Amino acid sequence: MADLLGVAVLGAGHMGADHVRRLDGVVSGARVAAVADPDAARAKEAVAGIDGATVHTDPEAALDAPGVEAVLIASPGPAHEDALLAAFARGLPVLCEKPMVPDSAGALRVMEAELRHGRRLAQVGFMRRYDAEYRRLKALLDDGRLGRPLMLHCVHRNVSSPPGFTSAMLIDSSVSHEIDAARWLLGQELTAVTVVRPRVSAGAPQGVQDPQFVLFETEGGALVDVEVFVNCGFGYQVRCEAVCEAGAARVGDDHGPLVTARGSAGTDVPRDYLVRFADAYDREVQAWVDATRRGEVTGPTVWDGYAASAVAEAGVGALESGTRTVVELAPRPGLYAGTGR
Ligand SMILES: NC(=O)c1ccc[n+]([C@@H]2O[C@H](COP(=O)([O-])OP(=O)(O)OC[C@H]3O[C@@H](n4cnc5c(N)ncnc54)[C@H](O)[C@@H]3O)[C@@H](O)[C@H]2O)c1
């Protein structure tokens, strides 16, 4: 066990428990050293059967637990800033689930703390960058054979939203994935947002604007539209079509064999992100463990986390005001030059 990277996992909910399972049994080179959750029973359940993992209700106690060399943050977004700052104060490398920090002012504070440290410590959990289909799309766009990208048409549908999910969370939680994917695929910052409100679905919880149609403009003049519909009831669907000057490419349609029987043909639709992006999470966490063991930090940066928060904040402003809203971004520090997007 001594040569395995000892990881503290903060938060043992849906994502945290899945990452504990992944660190313990899927990726190589790591072990779960500690788990923290204010709900002790949940933390205990997550580590059941895992040797040597300590259980805590205080996240900082988990960071100080014996054998902890790195941190995976899977607590709710509002808890991320404190967790990141506590990890940085201890010089611990971090994989932080999205959103890195939900508000851009908090994200800037995290960026300033990493800059004071003088080198990267955190990778942000935008796992679409590790999805095989998205990587193929990125390679196609980068090699230029389709010409310059003009538009991205994106779809993000969930079966249902968790309790307490608000209209703003459709943008700053769900669409945050499209925000990062668009910045990464196009290699451009998003500069303005408009949100249009379609008729509300009968399946939406009381008071929640679901679905929404979100339109981003980029610094290079491309447009990115996102249909986000988080209580669609029929399955988890994430699609992205890039329309370029000399062709178009679409990902997100292929989820298994097309079965023809009894006079109809069909394919499975995944029930949620844990199924659709299982391979992407595995690759993301493996890449983080491998880089950390080499003493490196790779993948989406704190700048990417900050930019996503700033764009999402503008998006929530656009939803509330009903008007086109410009994204305000701080200058990009040299530490993040040439990384991420
Ligand atoms: N990458 C993805 O595709 C993806 C998908 C879903 C969720 N997420 C992100 O993962 C994070 C967790 O989401 P979830 O769906 O697992 O939520 P969840 O509500 O299922 O679990 C969160 C857990 O964190 C615990 N918690 C609360 N405060 C804490 C603190 N200060 N320290 C440690 N634990 C604390 C809660 O008790 C709960 O058990 C969020 O940031 C969310 O946006 C990412």
User: What is the band of 256 on the pLDDT scale with cuts at 50, 70, 90?
Assistant: confident
Q: How far is the CA of 111 from the centre of ligand 1 (A)?
A: 21
Judge whether residue 5 has pLDDT over 50. Answer: yes
Residue nearest to atom 29 of ligand 1 (CA): 75
Q: What is the pLDDT of residues 40-50, one digit of tens each?
A: 999 999 999 99
Pocket lined around ligand 1, Cβ cut-off 6 Å? 10-16, 36-39, 42, 59, 74-77, 79, 97-98, 125, 127, 173, 273
User: Which atom of ligand 1 has the smallest separation from the CA of 125?
Assistant: 1
Q: What is the pLDDT of residues 167-191, one digit of tens each?
A: 999 999 999 999 999 999 999 999 9
Ligand 1 site-directed mutation target among 9, 14, 279, most atoms within 8 Å of CB: 14
Task: Give one DSSP letter per residue of 208-225, joined into a string.
Answer: ---SEEEEEEETTS-EEE
Question: Beta-carbon neighbour count of residue 337 at 10 Å?
Answer: 9
3-state secondary structure of 322: coil
Query: From the centroid of its chain, how far is CA 100?
Result: 8
Q: How far is the CA of 145 from the centre of ligand 1 (A)?
A: 40
User: What is the band of 340 on the pLDDT scale with cuts at 50, 70, 90?
Assistant: very low
Q: Which domains does the chain have, with CATH numbers?
A: 5-127+279-301 (3.40.50.720), 129-275+306-326 (3.30.360.10)
Task: Give the C-alpha separation, 104 to 82, whole Å.
Answer: 14
Q: What is the CA radius of gyration of the chain?
A: 20
Phi/psi of residue 49, each to 5°?
A: 85, 0
Q: In this prediction, what percent of the chain has a pLDDT beyond 70?
A: 98
pLDDT, position 341:
43
User: What is the band of 200 on the pLDDT scale with cuts at 50, 70, 90?
Assistant: very high
Judge whether residue 71 has pLDDT over 80. Answer: yes
Judge whether residue 102 has pLDDT over 90. Answer: yes
Residue nearest to atom 22 of ligand 1 (CA): 13
HSE of 189, CA atoms in CB hemisphere, 13 A = 20
